[in-house]
Amino acid sequence: MAAAPQALIPLDEAWSRLRQALTEHPHAPATEQRATEDTLGRVLAQDVVSTVAVPPHDNSAMDGYALRVADLADLASAAEPGPSLPVSQRIAAGQTGAILQPGSCARIFTGAPVPAGADAVVMQEHTEPAATEGQVRFTQPVHAQQNIRRAGEDIAIGQTVLRAGTRLSPAALGVAASVGRATLPVFAPPRVAVLTTGDELVLPGQPLPPGAIYNSNRHTLLGLAQAAGATARDLGTVPDQLAATRAALRAAAEQHDLVISSGGVSVGEEDHLRQAVQAEGGLDFWALAIKPGKPFVFGWLTRADGSRAIYMGLPGNPVASWLTFLMLVRPVIGLLAGQGWQLPRSLPVPAAFAWPKPDKRREFLRVRLNEAGHAELFPNQSSGVLTSASWADGVVDLPPQTTVQPGDVVRWTSAAELLHPAAAACQPGCQP
């Protein structure tokens, strides 16, 4: 008698199960101190609190002239329009000027400290040489505090400028440097091992025998793991032998936090991979209610010291492997990297396509936004057509039993958001 088909698990439930399993068996990420310039893309392990004000002093936002606004009130000349003042000093960035004497102005440059006594800076484009040598004439109205950047207006002493869990962007590195931080405490990147199974797989560059295919999943998964912030290692293609598969998994578990594989996880297959994982730890097979990406395996590998490495088995079809990585593996990598549990978010966009045949599963369609901001559909949505993922700039998240007509509003998640949810701002209308 044939086995009853396995119930499909909604993606939200799969996320919940993953998070619960990782909560019950936490994998605390290691931390390290690194030079600030070497932390791009890393995750901050501790808050950065400023011990200095930024800027540290009132400074000029323009090249121009610093003055007292009150000095201009009674200096209008009948001989020429606009008041003028003698230039008493010159202050460049990095220099400290003298106290500004009443009835005078100071030539000042962008970033230079504003001299005591001055309460405005006039940009040089609003001045011209006066008839009297050594003086400058002001051609536009002047108001107090204009073009002055006040001490601490960007960052105050004691202010938390970067929060733990932040994925460090170029701007974040600049913020850290602006408060004097030469090094930063960051989480060590998760160590991820990638292995593929199947005697039919051939590496690119090698002759392609009859019945063989080039191993695309290896390159896709290694690239995704690196892009997600992990240190990825290629374990190659494991032979279709139980002993060899067990040995590969055992070695991978000792040196890595997470082991992922593609292929050999469909229902009914008597493959060595699942047997090997069960022998070296444990697993739970899930039939996901998503398309593409139905077969998925989650489990663990027990190390010699009794600790665990996480195992995740992805389907072999290229697009299904790509999508299940983004939806299920990427959040786990984020958790291992110290970012917490973060799921991709979506935005509403109009559809520029029709989807007349609904599916019982939640579908992820490969799309690209056109110049009007409407989602255009890649013509072939087969799970074996990897060019659809390369062409797309995101996916449309389509609920079960949903049809689409041009102009309908659909939920679109960008490729950048799929890889780095924390890096994209949640604009009005977005939702997890």
Q: Where are the domains of the chain?
A: 8-30+188-336, 35-49+163-187, 59-149, 347-423
pLDDT at 90: 97
pLDDT at 266: 58
**Domain 59-149: top CATH class:** mainly beta
Whole-angstrom Cα distance, residue 219 to residue 203?
10
Whole-angstrom Cα distance, residue 249 to residue 274?
11
| DSSP assignment of 221-272 | HHHHHHHTT-EEEEEEEEPS-HHHHHHHHHHHHHH-SEEEEES--STT---H
Asked if residues 112 and 64 have their Cβ atoms less than 8 Å apart, the reply is: no
Please give the DSSP secondary-structure letter assigned to residue 57: S
pLDDT at 74: 61
Closest by Cα among 99, 42, 105 to 68: 105
pLDDT at 77: 44
pLDDT at 426: 42
Instruction: Encode the chain (432 residues) as per-residue pLDDT tens digits.
Output: 444 567 899 999 999 999 999 988 888 788 999 999 999 989 999 999 999 999 999 999 999 999 999 998 766 544 456 789 999 999 999 999 999 999 999 999 999 999 999 999 999 999 999 989 999 999 999 999 999 999 999 999 999 999 998 989 999 999 999 999 999 999 999 999 998 776 677 777 777 778 777 677 889 999 999 999 999 999 887 777 888 889 999 999 999 999 999 876 655 444 678 888 999 999 887 889 999 998 899 999 999 999 999 999 998 889 999 999 999 999 999 999 888 899 999 999 999 999 999 999 999 999 999 999 999 999 999 999 999 999 999 999 999 999 999 999 999 999 999 998 865 444 444 454
Whole-angstrom Cα distance, residue 133 to residue 140?
20
Cα-atom radius of gyration of the chain, to the nearest Å? 31
Whole-angstrom Cα distance, residue 27 to residue 47?
21
Strand-strand pairing, 120-123 and 64-67: antiparallel
8-30+188-336 is classed CATH 3.40.640.10: no
Whole-angstrom Cα distance, residue 289 to residue 7?
9
Whole-angstrom Cα distance, residue 380 to residue 168?
37
SS3 393: coil
pLDDT at 79: 42
My answer on whether omega of the bond before 292 falls inside 30° of 0, hence cis, is yes
Task: Say whether 347-423 and 59-149 share the same fold.
Answer: no
In this structure, which topology does domain 347-423 adopt according to CATH? Beta-clip (2.40.340)
pLDDT at 274: 82
Whole-angstrom Cα distance, residue 409 to residue 192?
37
Please give the DSSP secondary-structure letter assigned to residue 415: H
Closest by Cα among 118, 122, 114 to 104: 118
Strand-strand pairing, 105-108 and 148-149: unpaired
